[in-house]
Structure 1
């Protein structure tokens, strides 16, 4: 069996990392081989891209946002070519963020065009896209309560976070990704995603 590639994407504070940890624990308890990867930690060009993101935050232009989108797609192509093929063939790869997350954070470049950038570069398509969301007020409060805060170079105000969440939910519906509303218990959200994973295994 080839590796199963699952991405968890969504706005800040939606609880992706906590959910990933819980999913990993359940799958490993069932003797599954789980590989946890994070897009930003697998990307050798991250420093240069984040310098552009910071520039974009100070001086938002369409041209600069396009450059950020192209660089992120190039990075995913690199990960698709150099990192994902090295994982064990019968493993479940859980990726913390992949190109669906651009649907939440990009402001001016339409997501259809971002998707096209990724397709043209042969970025690997996840076998399962999971969009993790909460009501924006909940994820905003959760993020604000963390020691690192929101930790976003893109989102600075609740209004922006609300817009980001709505944009992401529209793309989840449009592309038929799995919607995981992570407002209840972590156990409920975990079992929903586990059930989706087993349905595609």
Structure 2
């Protein structure tokens, strides 16, 4: 029986990650693949508790509080790994909107190596493919400014912080064998990149 393929899509705000995930889903389904889309925040049974900590962190940044946020997120991913992923049909492609690589963009005090170690210690499922969606920070900032909700971030407040977020995210992907997908051209071109990487593992 063919195992499921678990793929995470992560990225800074405004890079078009969720739009790209939807387009890749449609393309893969059209090619006859069973695709299940999950969203970390919608699957998280502890989301309310976590966001309360995130809001507190935004008001009063501290290393200790940010570590609590990382701990809560890792615990949620452990739950998803153990309670949701095993229930998905064998042979399906699971595309999840955000997983632990996203912490590299939004956690500013806890080193990403510590975040990664925490998730591994909790036996969080390691994706078969880590896909990072990225653009130049000025491009994603402009896209975010054009939409009704703006950047939509509790953590980031200005362009300088968004630039730092983008750089930290790209650095986290560097040298790990994880895949960065540039999404600065057409949606069609970016979708083709994502689908091609997934199909190599099918």
TM-score range, shorter chain: over 0.9
Shift of 1:174: 2.8
Q: Distance in 2 between matches of 1:48 and 1:18?
A: 27
Runs of at least 5 residues in structure 2 that lack an aligned partner in the other structure? none
Residue aligning to 2:63: 62
3-state SS of 1:180 partner: strand
RMSD: 0.6
1:14 aligned onto 2:15:
yes
Output aligned runs, 1:163-182, within 5 Å: 163-182=164-183
Q: Distance in 1 between matches of 2:171 and 2:127?
A: 19
3-state SS of 2:156 partner: coil
Q: Distance in 1 between matches of 2:36 and 2:79?
A: 18
Shift of 1:12: 0.2
Q: Distance in 2 between matches of 1:169 and 1:15?
A: 15
3-state SS of 2:200 partner: helix
Q: Distance in 1 between matches of 2:65 and 2:82?
A: 26
Q: Distance in 2 between matches of 1:153 and 1:113?
A: 22
Output aligned runs, 1:38-187, within 5 Å: 38-187=39-188
Shift of 1:90: 1.0
Shift of 1:101: 0.2
Residue aligning to 2:196: 195
3-state SS of 2:76 partner: helix
3-state SS of 2:174 partner: helix
- Structure 1 runs of 4+ with >2 Å offset: none
Q: Which whole-Å deviations, capped at 9, do the CAs of 1:33-90 have from their partners, x for residues lacking one? A: 0000000000010011000000000000000000000000000000000011111111
Q: Distance in 1 between matches of 2:143 and 2:59?
A: 25
Q: Distance in 1 between matches of 2:14 and 2:110?
A: 23
Give the length in aligned residue pairs. 201
3-state SS of 2:153 partner: coil
Residue aligning to 1:23: 24
Runs of at least 5 residues in structure 1 that lack an aligned partner in the other structure? none
Q: Distance in 2 between matches of 1:14 and 1:68?
A: 23
Shift of 1:92: 0.3
3-state SS of 2:184 partner: coil
Shift of 1:149: 1.5
